[in-house]
């Protein structure tokens, strides 16, 4: 599973990255996490409001920080 956390380094972006790592640890899924902070690359995904979470190329969350439980559910679908 390939996960990307899109964000420019703001508090919410960092919180999403931390929550994603916690969800991966909780669920035990095999995933590679990449932090994308380049605004041009973020815009290529069509994301205008960060933070955003991309799972296997699909935008699953944008503009907010979901709970660890919500992220866990998204990862185990």
Task: Verify whether residue 13 is a known catalytic residue.
Answer: yes
Q: What are the structure tokens assigned to 3, written together?
A: 């996960």
Catalytic residue selected from 13, 42, 54, 75: 13
The burial class, CB within 10 Å (0-12 / 13-18 / 19+), for 48 is exposed
Task: Verify whether residue 77 is a known catalytic residue.
Answer: no
| Sequence-ordered list of residues with C-beta below 8 angstroms from that of 65, at least 6 positions apart, any chain | 12, 15, 16, 19, 51
Catalytic residue selected from 1, 9, 10, 44: 10
Q: Which residues are designated catalytic?
A: 10, 13
């Amino acid at each position: 599973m390939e996960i990307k956390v899109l964000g420019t380094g703001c508090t919410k972006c960092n919180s999403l990255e931390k929550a994603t790592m916690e969800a991966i640890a909780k669920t035990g899924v095999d995933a590679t996490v990449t932090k994308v902070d380049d605004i041009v690359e973020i815009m290529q995904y069509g994301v205008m409001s960060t933070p955003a979470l991309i799972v296997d190329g699909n935008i699953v969350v944008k503009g907010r920080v979901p709970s660890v439980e919500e992220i866990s559910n998204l990862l185990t679908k």
